[in-house]
Amino acid sequence: MGPSLARLSASKSANYSGASASSPNPMPCIPSTLCVKFSLMRNVVIIGSGPAGLTAAVYAARANLSPLLIEGWQSGGQLTTTTEVENYPGFAKGIMGPELMKEMRAQAERFGTEFLTGHVTAVDLTPRPFTLTIDGEHTVQADTLILATGASAIQIGLKNEARLTGHGVSTCATCDGFFFKGKELIVVGGGDSAMEEATFLTKFASKVSIVHRRDKLRASKIMQDRAVKNEKITFVWNSVVEDVLGNHVVTGVRVKNLVTGKVTELPCAGVFVAIGHRPNTNLFSGQLDMDAKGYIRTTQGTATSVPGVFAAGDVQDSTYRQAVTAAGSGCMAAIDAERFLESGSHTL
């Protein structure tokens, strides 16, 4: 998407005249047309549209804080690339990830959350109000900021893995599984994601081999059992993928057994990498305290090292990383932001 396509939208209940904006017209964009450069100012700005960001929006909107939520062009976060979510409370029969996110967004919108679609390209957390640059040219100022930028899939780091991404290499079975009807596939990893992806892929594939670097899975018992019982799934233990083979599309992988040192080639039409996630915190590096893996450190609930900046969801949680814990911390962040503003720390 081009830089000047940032788009602002809100439910009919949003009160624009009550929102402080340094531009006389806080609705600068007409969908599908080029937007004028804009500058906005808000009490609460939320970056991220996964369960953490959207729950923060519901709570902040219901507290009359008129939150602005900045979402990327692929709204909804990681759950939009998953299949059925069986462990989110309230859905006895399970719910599809994209459907759950659609409902969360509608709920946030219902209470007056404004949505701005665009990429945050820079953040300045030094003076308050904080300044965000959107798509390199628009600015948003925030009295309080809730960071809910989540995490992204980790790649193995092979040259041919990158070259063949989109041509057989994928990190999203839900998105790409359909293209592999009757084919043999490889899934890399030993966690819940790998088990879930492999099990889902058996709907299409003739065979799925899970390549795992140890002889023990990290996945939860229920997910392991489901994969182990599936007749289409086999395990390649103590092994790593050393190379992805194929000129224009994937034709196989080269696998090394870490115990015997033996290298073998496994033919396959697709490689699904499911080896975990990395927090999306590059934008804030050097401005906030983070741990060695780049997760934002939070104390006293969701407070970060900068007063007025709060973090929620996977961006600050390397332990639980569940939709429900992300939603819970989104709620906490909104309440923390509200209390911070109530304590008289307004700049607006």
Return the residue of 67, 150, 190, 270 that touches ligand NDP, per CB under 6 A.
190
- CB closer to ligand NDP out of 53 and 189: 189
Q: Which is nearest to 146 in space by CA: 344, 312, 314?
A: 312
- Least spacing, CB of residue 232 vs ligand NDP, in Å: 19
**Residue 320, helix vs strand vs coil:** coil
Q: Calculate ∠ Cα 261-267-273, nearest 5°.
A: 75
Piece of the chain touching ligand NDP by CB under 6 A; list 11-19, 54-62, 193-201, 285-293: 193-201
- Long-range contacts for 161-168 (Cβ within 8 Å, ≥24 apart)? 161/241, 161/244, 161/271, 161/273, 163/244, 164/244, 164/246, 164/249, 164/250, 164/271, 167/246, 167/248, 167/249, 167/250, 168/244, 168/246, 168/249, 168/250, 168/269, 168/270, 168/271
- Least spacing, CB of residue 265 vs ligand NDP, in Å: 18
| 278 lines the binding site for ligand NDP (CB under 6 A) | no
Pairing of strands 7-10, 114-117: antiparallel
- CB closer to ligand NDP out of 23 and 318: 318
**Residue nearest ligand NDP by beta-carbon distance:** 191
Piece of the chain touching ligand NDP by CB under 6 A; list 1-9, 20-28, 137-145, 272-280: 272-280
Catalytic residues: 172, 175-176
* 209 class by beta-carbon count within 10 Å (0-12 exposed, 13-18 middle, 19+ buried): buried
Q: Which of residues 203-232 bind ligand NDP (CB under 6 A)?
A: 213-214, 218, 220
- What is d(CA 82, CA 270) in angstroms, rounded to the nearest whole number? 18
- CB closer to ligand NDP out of 119 and 254: 254
- What is d(CA 228, CA 239) in angstroms, rounded to the nearest whole number? 17
| 193 lines the binding site for ligand NDP (CB under 6 A) | yes
- Least spacing, CB of residue 213 vs ligand NDP, in Å: 5
Tokens of 208: 């799925």
- CB closer to ligand NDP out of 213 and 254: 213
Return the residue of 275, 303, 315, 326 that touches ligand NDP, per CB under 6 A.
275
One symbol per residue from 142 to 181: x for binding ligand NDP (CB under 6 A), - otherwise; what is it? --------------x-------------------------
- CB closer to ligand NDP out of 140 and 275: 275
- Least spacing, CB of residue 127 vs ligand NDP, in Å: 37
**Residue 221, helix vs strand vs coil:** helix
| 266 lines the binding site for ligand NDP (CB under 6 A) | no
Compute, in degrees rounded to 10, the torsion defined by CA atoms 138, 139, 145, 148: 10
Q: Which of residues 8-67 bind ligand NDP (CB under 6 A)?
A: none
Annotate 6-35 with b (16+ C-beta within 10 A) or e (fewer).
bbbebeeebeeeebebeeeebebbeeeeeb
| 254 lines the binding site for ligand NDP (CB under 6 A) | no
Residues that bind ligand NDP (CB under 6 A): 87, 156, 188-194, 196, 213-214, 218, 220, 240, 274-277, 321
